[in-house]
């Protein structure tokens, strides 16, 4: 048994030894082949690297040669260009030298000519002085006196020609006056928005507290948009404490908006449906108020039998102002004034009062229709069957038509009196008096003026000149100069008529 074990052990050792030797031989053979293969790879890589190196060197040499050629070509072109510039500069220098030489010759010639001219001027001055002495000895007056006489005569001739020219221009201008005036006034109204307009186009509504502003605006501004859309009036909500401003040109719409807003504030429920309801109520209230005001005006003036629509239009004048003067009150005053004057002179009182009350009826709708308030008023009166006498009497109050009846003259005079009365329109009495005094002062500052009077509330200045100092032709020039001075030194509404009167009287006494 031990022998078997020993044999097994020995056999195992021999097997292990034999296996080790076999593996060693196999490994050595593989390592040898791997080393040989790696050597071949390295040799091939070295050959490839050498080949690439040679190719790159060749490419680099070719690139260097190419760049060198391009550089040489560019340098050659630059040298050629520089040579061209050099030739041009040389040519220009030669031309400049030639021109300088020519200029020197011309300058020398000019100096010779100037010297000759100076000598001739001295000779001319000597001859002129001798001629002046001879002329003075012959005429018996000096040259200064002769100059004054010539200038005086020339001035008279020029002033006469200027006067005639001004007269011709004024005659030509009058032919186009109405057309030009309408164009100029229409353009001015479109371009101009004076500061005082803001006082008659806004209404302030007081609020109980500033929290009400948020409720008026509403969620995402729906309440204020609804109110502005329904009334056509802008609501201005700013930092003014406890107040909202209503802005709009139409006073009736502004009044509707004010009534509706005040009702909404007192009610407390502010939403689009409620706003629509209150605006409708406000419109009804305003319409009723307009009708009542028109009826009250006819009652105060004693004018009866008017068409209901004319009565409604009269009521609309309560919300219309002219230079700060309420047009309805102005119309009532004109009616009463015209009636009083008609009664004094024995004219038709009823006609005068009726035409006076209706003379500004066109202003109730002049912002809705084209044309002047006179033309619009005439169309309205024709539409509602007023008599021709009434239409004519009211149509002349601004001079658009020549008055053909006494009542027309009275309506025009009453309109001027009502508008010109100090304090009736937006002008203080002190400023009014100062303006009239300044107007007369400007007129009296001219030579030849005997007396001057500011009339028609400063709309006209009437000037009486001394006939021995101002000729008929000189009147036009004087009026022109005075008008220019008034425009430069005086501020006034509308226009001022400069009326110059020259009167020559011959007085003798029979004894």
Q: What is the pTM of this model?
A: 0.45
Eight-class DSSP state of 405: S
Task: Please state, in angstroms and as integers, the Cα–Cα distance from residue 485 to each residue in 94, 101, 329, 438, following that order.
Answer: 67, 62, 36, 11
Backbone angles phi, psi at 149, to 5 degrees: -65, -45
The pLDDT, as a whole number, for residue 190 is 38
Give the pLDDT confidence of 408-419 residue by residue, as tens digits.
888 888 887 777
C-beta of residue 334 within 8 angstroms of C-beta of residue 414: yes
Provide the β-strand partners of residue 192: none
Summary mean pLDDT of the chain: 79
Instruction: Dig out the tokens for 72 from the structure.
Output: 């040489």
Distance of alpha carbon 474 from alpha carbon 161, whole angstroms: 10
**Amino acid 138: pLDDT:** 78
Phi-psi group of 144: left, alpha or beta (phi > 0 → left; psi -120 to 50 → alpha; rest → beta): alpha
By the 8 A CB rule, do 349 and 303 touch? Answer: no
What's the pLDDT score for residue 189? Answer: 33
When comparing pLDDT for 196 and 165, which is higher?
165
Of the CA atoms within 13 Å of residue 142, those in its CB half-sphere come to 3
411-450: pLDDT as tens digits? 888 887 777 655 455 555 556 677 788 888 888 888 888 8
CB atoms within 10 A of CB 295: 16
Are 345 and 325 contacting, i.e. CB atoms less than 8 angstroms apart? no
Of the chain, the end-to-end C-alpha distance in Å amounts to 208
**What domains are there in the chain, each with its CATH number?**
197-290 (3.30.1370.10), 306-420 (1.10.3210.10), 429-502 (3.30.70.1350)
pLDDT band at 188 (very low <50, low <70, confident <90, very high): very low
Give me the mean pLDDT over the 132-158 stretch.
75
Write down the pLDDT at residue 260: 85
* 382-386 average pLDDT score: 88
Paired with 454 in beta bridges are: 461
C-alpha–C-alpha distance, residues 359 and 396, integer Å: 9
Predicted confidence (pLDDT) at residue 10 exceeds the cutoff of 60: yes
324: pLDDT strictly greater than 70 = no
> Greater confidence, 163 or 311?
311
Residue 472 burial (10 A CB sphere; 0-12, 13-18, 19+): exposed
Q: What is the pLDDT of residue 195?
A: 33
Residue 199: the pLDDT is: 41
Give the mean model confidence (pLDDT) for residues 104-132.
87
The answer, yes or no, to whether residue 313 has pLDDT greater than 80, is yes
Task: Identify whether the C-beta of residue 363 lies closer than 8 Å to the C-beta of residue 322.
Answer: yes
Angle at Cα 431 formed by Cα 427 and Cα 433, nearest 5°?
110
Torsion angles phi and psi, residue 246, rounded to 5: -100, 125
**Cα separation of 496 and 339, whole Å?**
28
Range name among 291-305, 383-397, 482-496 with the lowest pLDDT average: 482-496
Q: CA 48: distance to chain centroid?
A: 88
DSSP-assigned beta bridge partners for residue 245: 204, 236
Q: How confident is the model at residue 494, as a pLDDT?
A: 64
Q: What is the pLDDT of residue 129?
A: 81
Determine the pLDDT at residue 362. Answer: 85
Higher local confidence (pLDDT), 419 or 312: 312
């Amino acid at each position: 048994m031990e022998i078997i074990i020993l044999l097994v052990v020995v056999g195992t050792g021999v097997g292990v030894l034999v296996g080790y030797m076999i593996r060693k031989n196999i490994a050595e053979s593989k390592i040898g082949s791997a080393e040989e293969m790696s050597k071949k790879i390295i040799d091939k890589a070295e050959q490839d690297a050498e080949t690439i190196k040679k190719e790159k060197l060749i490419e680099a040499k070719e690139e260097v040669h190419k760049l060198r050629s391009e550089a040489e070509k560019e340098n050659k072109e630059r040298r050629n260009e520089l040579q061209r510039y050099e030739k041009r500069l040389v040519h220009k220098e030669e031309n400049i030298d030639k021109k300088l030489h020519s200029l020197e010759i011309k300058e020398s010639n000019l100096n010779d000519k100037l010297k000759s001219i100076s000598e001739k001027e001295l000779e001319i001055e000597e001859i002129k002085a001798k001629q002046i002495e001879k002329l003075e000895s012959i005429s018996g007056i000096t040259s200064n006196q002769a100059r004054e006489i010539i200038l005086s005569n020339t001035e008279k001739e020029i002033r006469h020609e200027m006067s005639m020219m001004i007269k011709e221009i004024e005659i030509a201008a009058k032919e186009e006056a109405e057309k030009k005036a309408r164009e100029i006034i229409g353009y001015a109204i479109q371009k101009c928005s004076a500061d005082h307009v803001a006082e008659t186009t806004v209404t302030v509504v007081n609020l109980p507290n500033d929290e009400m502003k948020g409720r008026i605006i509403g969620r995402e501004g729906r309440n204020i948009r609804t109110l502005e859309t329904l009334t056509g009036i802008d609501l201005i909500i700013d930092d003014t404490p406890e107040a909202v401003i209503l802005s709009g040109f139409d006073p009736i719409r502004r009044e509707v908006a004010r009534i509706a807003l005040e009702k909404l504030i007192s009610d407390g429920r502010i939403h689009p449906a409620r706003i629509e309801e209150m605006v409708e109520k406000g419109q009804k209230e305003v319409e009723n108020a307009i009708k009542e005001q028109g009826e009250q005006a006819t009652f105060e003036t004693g004018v009866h039998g008017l068409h209901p629509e004319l009565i409604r239009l009269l009521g609309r004048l309560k919300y219309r102002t002219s230079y700060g003067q309420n047009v309805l009150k102005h119309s009532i005053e004109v009616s009463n004034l015209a009636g009083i004057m008609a009664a004094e002179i024995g004219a038709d009182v009823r006609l005068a009062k009726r035409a006076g009350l209706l003379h500004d009826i066109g202003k109730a709708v002049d912002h809705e229709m084209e044309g002047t308030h006179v033309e619009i008023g005439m169309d309205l009166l024709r539409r509602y069957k007023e008599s021709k006498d009434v239409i004519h009497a009211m149509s002349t109050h601004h001079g658009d038509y020549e008055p053909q009846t006494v009542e027309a003259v009275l309506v025009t005079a009453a309109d001027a009196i009502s508008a010109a009365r100090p304090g009736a329109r937006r002008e203080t009495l002190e400023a009014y008096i100062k303006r009239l005094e300044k107007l007369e002062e400007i007129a009296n500052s001219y030579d030849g003026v005997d007396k001057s009077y500011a009339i028609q509330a400063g709309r006209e200045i009437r000037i009486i000149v001394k006939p021995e100092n101002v000729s008929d032709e000189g009147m036009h020039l004087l009026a022109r100069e005075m008008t220019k001075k008034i425009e430069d030194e005086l501020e006034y509404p509308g226009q001022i008529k400069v009326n110059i009167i020259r009167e020559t009287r011959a007085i003798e006494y029979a004894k």
